[in-house]
Structure 1
Amino acid sequence: MATSKVTYQGELRTVSVHLASGDKIITDAPIDNQGKGEAFSPTDLLATSLGNCMLTIVGIAAKSHDFSIDGATAEITKVMAQDPRRVSEIHVKLKFPEFNYSEKQRAIIERSAKTCPVSYSLHPDIKQELTFLY
């Protein structure tokens, strides 16, 4: 079964539907590439997916080791390159609540974040810069 369906709406906008849930995501081309920039661009979603994946995998690890990361955030910065236009770097700043994590818990957090499926799926030429704030 397909995962999603994407429909071009015109004016450099698409609507993606997650077929299992019906949830929708709108994308626009960015202002610096002929778009309106009124929604995530496709490359914004690529970069943001890395942060989503990292928090999800860390959440799974935390749950299995009986601690919480509830309230953790990921701040994403996407860096574009030209010729060809592409994502060249993704900076992820992971901020965790002040729960006084032990050294073991911090090691679990950092190892888990670095091994998320999106991280492994990105081309090795895309620099992934991670910062962990506790």
Structure 2
Amino acid sequence: MPHIKSSYLGELRTEDIHLKSSNRIITDAPTDNHGKGEAFSPTDLVCAALSSCMMTIIGIRARKHQIELNGLEAEVTKFMSSDPRQISKIQVDFTLKSTNATPEQITMLKEAALACPVALSINPAIEQDVSFDF
């Protein structure tokens, strides 16, 4: 059974609907690739999927061990190559304002993030540069 319905809306714009929740995502081609750049590009979503997956896995581990994640955030930077046009590097910089985690638990959270399903699914040719300011 499908999970997502995708539609081309024209003008290099798409709409994806999460069928269970009806949540919608609009994508636009970026301005450097003939688009308007008025929404996430498909390659932006790959990068957002990586940071979101890592945060989700961190959250699952934290919940299991009663670890507080006050102010967990990430800044994501996408690097593109031109021949062929593809993502060459995804940089994810995590910050955590406060936590009750021990140093051993911090290590566990970092290792879990780096082994998230999206990180493991991305082509190994794409560099994943991940930093943690915990």
Which category of TM-score, normalised to the shorter sequence, fits these structures?
over 0.9
Matches within 5 A, 1:79-118: 79-99=79-99, 101-118=101-118
- State the shift of 1:82 in Å: 1.2
**What TM-score does the superposition give when structure 1 sets the normalisation length?**
0.96
Gaps of 5+ in 2: none
Matches within 5 A, 1:42-81: 42-81=42-81
**What TM-score does the superposition give when structure 2 sets the normalisation length?**
0.96
Deviations 1:52-90 (A, max 9, x none): 000000000111111121431111100000111000000
Between Structure 1 and Structure 2, how many residues are aligned? 134
1:29 maps to: 29
Gaps of 5+ in 1: none
The CA RMSD measured in Å over matched residues stands at 1.0
> Contact 2:67–2:100 (CA<8 Å) still a contact in 1?
no
Q: Does 1:14 align with 2:24?
A: no
> Contact 2:94–2:131 (CA<8 Å) still a contact in 1?
yes
Using the TM superposition, name which of 122-131 and 102-111 deviates more.
102-111
Separation in 2, partners of 1:83, 1:48: 23
Separation in 2, partners of 1:69, 1:112: 15
Deviations 1:9-52 (A, max 9, x none): 11000010000110000000000000000000000000110000
Separation in 2, partners of 1:104, 1:133: 15
Give aligned-pair identity as a percent: 46
Separation in 1, partners of 2:99, 2:61: 16
- State the shift of 1:8 in Å: 0.5
- State the shift of 1:101 in Å: 3.3
SS of 1:40's partner is: coil
Using the TM superposition, name which of 29-38 and 90-99 deviates more.
90-99
- Off by >4 Å, runs of 4+ in structure 1: none
> Contact 1:59–1:68 (CA<8 Å) still a contact in 2?
no
Q: Does 1:41 align with 2:68?
A: no
